[in-house]
Chains A and B, each alone.
Chain A
Amino acid sequence: MKITKVLRVAAREFASTAITKGFIIGALVLPAVMAAVIPVVMVLAMRAQPPADTGTIYILDHSAEVTTVLDERLDPEAVKERWIQRFDRSIKSAKKLMPQVGGAAVENSREQVESIIKSPVFRIIPAGTDTDLEELKEELRNQVASKATLDDEQHRLLAIIEIDADATLKVNEDEGYGAYQAFFRPKLNEETVGEIKDGVRWSIRQKRYENADLDRTMIAEINSIQARDSKEITEEGERNEASAIASFAIPFVAMILLLMASMTGGQYLLTTTVEEKSNRVVEVLLSAVSPLELMTGKIIGQMGVGLSLLTIYNSVGIIALIVFKRGDLVTPLTFLYLFIFFILAYFMFASLMAAIGSAVNDLREAQSLMTPVMLMMIMPYIFFMPVIRAPNSLFSTITSFIPPVSPFIMIMRVSSTDPPPFWQVGLAIILNMIAVLLFLWFAAKVFRVGLLMFGKPPNLRTLIKWVRMA
């Protein structure tokens, strides 16, 4: 095998795939645009809140004590204050997760927050206890049906609330409290409906506490339990409990990156091989290089494509982690493993793709031979949940040793919060290397025979016959 020829084939393969408009747009521009657009969309979504619902709520209060509490609870100023507090709380938790962003980007003044928040404005109108509920419903129905815009938005009927007489005070000690029922105008904002229901429930509860002679603040204090510290004690020392991001997202992203990079290279390899074969350019090439040189060159060239993708996305990931000050989530070792397992996974994919590409006459025919490849691709998704939940279970351990799924399972295990012992990783690498050699051997045989075979597309049995033949 002449290295110069192999490299020459590889160079063309890489250039014809990666240095094209389509690839550059797909690999670089698209993620960049998405990264730029997502924050803008988020800001827009925050600013462009639906217009606040304004209108009237009828309350048919048979208990005769909820209305006043509810009136206070749903006072426009009180509602607005709660909404602002809720917004502040969500900003605070975002800051905790991503200190950089929280610290600088989302530091709003009170005035700014007030201008952003559009809380609903309610007017509570008590209906006399002798009013027929059906009449109130009829009024709402007519309003909805007429579709006419009301001169005064305040007259827009939003909801009808009926509260049972025994909702706040038990009539009979053996039975439970009474209930309430609510009827809403269709297409109200979810938040508005939530605010109304919460208000009713809060008010009923308030009266129940009072009637039972209980101190609400005291009960709230009793219910609130703070954990000063919650850590795992390990051999090396104490560490924070694994967050959802560390235990779930990082392994998942690592596996997806691995799958994507190796699949992309493999897919391109299939396409170019089929193309060279159906173009008949392959015989010209074979007069200059041996089939093995050709296949090796092509596999190496597309490995370059996969590596480029992996490097691009890794860089983006690293930058993101640095920006969000969450560098603790990954170690350099994770990236090293990502590259090692990429090479192993890619070679297995690529061997299959080269074999399939050489055996068929066009891409359509390739579909029928793709089953093993598809299986290889789907397996990591199927195994993803059980492996991430228990990265060191017997199931995870065994599957991480079985090529060709091994690289995908192993990358999830090594990037989890509970990485396996080093000997397991080493053993998996060795087993995968053996598998890679077998895959390449198989592919080389099929490739040699397949390239010059035209006509009926082969099935798996024919492929095995070719392997014996070559």
Chain B
Amino acid sequence: MTQAVSMDGVRKTFGRKVAVEGIDLTIPEGSVYGFIGPNGAGKTTTIRMIMSILFPDHGDLSVLGKKSAVESKDRIGYLPEERGIYKKMKVGSFLKHIGRLKGLDSRGLNSTVMEWLDRVELAEVHKKKCEELSKGMQQKVQFIASVLHDPDLIILDEPFSGLDPINMRLLRNLINDEHAKGKTVIFSTHVMHQAEQLCDHIVMIHQGKKVLDDTLEDIRTRFDPRAIHVDPIGGMEKADEIAQLSGVSHVSPVEGALEVVLHEGIEPQIAMKSLLEAHPMNRIEIKRPTLEDVFIEIVTGGKRGEDAAQLRADLLAGTKNEEEEVAS
């Protein structure tokens, strides 16, 4: 399979600050890649380098088979993190302007723009000035600006920030449509569950370094916590009893349930069965690793304790901010 993007030892510094430190990466055509990591991890810098808006200090980079995106700009769609729009321009003219800059022919451009506006349920606004639109509407217009020219590679920097749940779903469907057409999609987010919903491949960036690069499935297998969450009838006092069962390494309370961690080599399916036999349960489920867990695991090197708790708190705070943004 040909590569949509490949990076080899790419490094970028701003003054003394190292933004990206030696990233190697290959993104095959037709895949959906999620760049995740907390704010300031280096996601936007990496994306800007792929876009040839910034240039790496060291390392090699190729995009769609070319040495840089400059040579294939018209085949790339880009939604920057900082949303930009000509406030005084009419929505239709703005999109047509961007379309023509992207090398689209003037003929048929109008109907293409109208089709897209229709798809994002904004058909009636094309004569309105951009500044008259709500923030969410503007964001949808900007998304159109990035995919209008039917690019082979779509790069979306934090595409979901500022959208309400309905529009989030709309955008997710649009991205899935593009994926289904065989387009390569790269997007970044600091809200990890968004990546879980969309990506087949995750790249995790932390302090300018790539710390994880794998398919979602492999990540789940690799970071299988080998744990079962149970909510036994009779309450939490049963924890000690459960801990005595064979195959159980230890038991700890988590948010209204008990986390039962299993010994090496014990199949979770079989353990569930024996747990159910030992105690009647309100609820029992295999614990699935979230990307947050994986991220914390990687960053803290598997250690538990204060560092991990702090990091988790930071990550949750990030998520919460995001939710507040949506609410406002």
Q: Which residues of A contact B (CB under 8 A)?
A: 4-5, 8-9, 12, 16, 276, 279-290, 452
Name the residue of chain B whose CB is nearest to the CB of A5.
Answer: B101
Residues of A within 8 A of B25 (CB): none
Given A8-B101, A16-B89, A279-B87, the answer on whether A284 and B145 have CB atoms closer than 8 Å is: yes
Q: Which of B73, B82, B142 contacts A288 (CB 8 A)?
A: B73
**Contact status B97-A12, CB under 8 Å:** yes
Residues of B within 8 A of A285 (CB): 84, 101
**Contact status A283-B100, CB under 8 Å:** no
Residues of B within 8 A of A8 (CB): 97, 100-101
Residues of A within 8 A of B74 (CB): 288
Fill in one digit per residue for B31-49: 1 if any A CB lies within 8 Å of its CB, else 0: 0000000000000000010
**Contact status A283-B80, CB under 8 Å:** yes
Residues of B within 8 A of A282 (CB): 84
Query: Which residues of chain B (260-314) have a CB below 8 Å from chain A?
Result: none
Given A279-B86, A281-B86, A284-B142, the answer on whether A290 and B80 have CB atoms closer than 8 Å is: no
Measured CA separation A282–B73 after assembly (Å): 15
**Contact status B73-A281, CB under 8 Å:** no
Interface residue? B88 (CB, 8 A): yes
**Contact status A289-B101, CB under 8 Å:** yes
Q: Which of B78, B84, B98, B103 contacts A279 (CB 8 A)?
A: B84
**Contact status B84-A283, CB under 8 Å:** yes
Measured CA separation A285–B97 after assembly (Å): 10
Measured CA separation A9–B97 after assembly (Å): 9
Name the residue of chain B whose CB is nearest to the CB of A282.
Answer: B84
**Contact status B98-A288, CB under 8 Å:** yes
Measured CA separation A48–B84 after assembly (Å): 59
**Contact status A281-B85, CB under 8 Å:** yes
Interface residue? B76 (CB, 8 A): yes
With a 10 A CB-CB cut-off, give which of A285, A287, A289 has the most chain B CB atoms.
A287
**Contact status B80-A280, CB under 8 Å:** yes
Measured CA separation A338–B76 after assembly (Å): 44
Interface CB pairs A-B, < 8 A, 15? A8-B100, A9-B101, A16-B86, A279-B86, A282-B84, A283-B78, A284-B84, A284-B98, A284-B145, A285-B84, A286-B51, A286-B53, A287-B77, A287-B146, A289-B73
Q: DSSP majority for the A interface?
A: helix
Q: Which residues of B contact A (CB under 8 A)?
A: 48, 51, 53-54, 70, 73-74, 76-78, 80, 82-89, 97-98, 100-103, 142, 145-146
With a 10 A CB-CB cut-off, give which of A8, A279, A290 has the most chain B CB atoms.
A279
Besides A276-B84, A284-B84, A288-B101, 4 more A-B contacts (Cβ < 8 Å) are A280-B84, A283-B80, A284-B98, A284-B146
Name the residue of chain B whose CB is nearest to the CB of A20.
Answer: B88
Q: How far is the CB of B57 from the nearest CB of chain A, in Å?
A: 11
Measured CA separation A279–B103 after assembly (Å): 23
Residues of B within 8 A of A9 (CB): 101
Name the residue of chain B whose CB is nearest to the CB of A288.
Answer: B101
**Contact status B51-A287, CB under 8 Å:** yes
**Contact status B102-A288, CB under 8 Å:** yes
Name the residue of chain B whose CB is nearest to the CB of A285.
Answer: B101
Q: How far is the CB of A185 from the nearest CB of chain B, in Å?
A: 61
Measured CA separation A12–B100 after assembly (Å): 11
Name the residue of chain A whose CB is nearest to the CB of B88.
Answer: A16
**Contact status B88-A284, CB under 8 Å:** no
Measured CA separation A275–B82 after assembly (Å): 14
Name the residue of chain B whose CB is nearest to the CB of A290.
Answer: B70
Residues of A within 8 A of B73 (CB): 287-289
Measured CA separation A276–B76 after assembly (Å): 21
Residues of B within 8 A of A16 (CB): 86, 88-89
**Contact status A284-B87, CB under 8 Å:** no
**Contact status A283-B89, CB under 8 Å:** no
Q: How far is the CB of B147 from the nearest CB of chain A, in Å?
A: 12
With a 10 A CB-CB cut-off, give which of A276, A280, A281, A452 has the most chain B CB atoms.
A281
Q: Which of A4, A276, A284, A452 contacts B78 (CB 8 A)?
A: A284
Q: How far is the CB of A160 from the nearest CB of chain B, in Å?
A: 70
**Contact status A287-B88, CB under 8 Å:** no
Residues of A within 8 A of B88 (CB): 16
Q: Which of A5, A12, A280, A290 contacts B82 (CB 8 A)?
A: A280
Q: Which of A4, A12, A279, A283 contacts B53 (CB 8 A)?
A: A283
Measured CA separation A263–B47 after assembly (Å): 38
Name the residue of chain A whose CB is nearest to the CB of B131.
Answer: A279
Q: How far is the CB of B217 from the nearest CB of chain A, in Å?
A: 32
Given A8-B100, A12-B97, the answer on whether A284 and B89 have CB atoms closer than 8 Å is: no
Residues of A within 8 A of B78 (CB): 283-284, 287
Measured CA separation A8–B101 after assembly (Å): 7
Measured CA separation A228–B120 after assembly (Å): 86
Name the residue of chain A whose CB is nearest to the CB of B74.
Answer: A288
With a 10 A CB-CB cut-off, give which of B53, B74, B77, B87 has the most chain A CB atoms.
B53
Measured CA separation A238–B97 after assembly (Å): 60
> A-B pairs with the 4 shortest C-beta distances?
A281-B84, A287-B78, A280-B84, A283-B80
Residues of B within 8 A of A286 (CB): 51, 53
Q: Which of B53, B87, B98, B103 contacts A452 (CB 8 A)?
A: B53
Name the residue of chain A whose CB is nearest to the CB of B48.
Answer: A452
**Contact status A284-B80, CB under 8 Å:** yes
Measured CA separation A283–B70 after assembly (Å): 14
Residues of B within 8 A of A452 (CB): 48, 53-54
Measured CA separation A287–B142 after assembly (Å): 12
Measured CA separation A286–B89 after assembly (Å): 18
Q: How far is the CB of A32 from the nearest CB of chain B, in Å?
A: 26
Measured CA separation A280–B53 after assembly (Å): 14
Measured CA separation A169–B310 after assembly (Å): 113
Name the residue of chain B whose CB is nearest to the CB of A294.
Answer: B101
**Contact status A287-B76, CB under 8 Å:** yes
Q: How far is the CB of B51 from the nearest CB of chain A, in Å?
A: 6
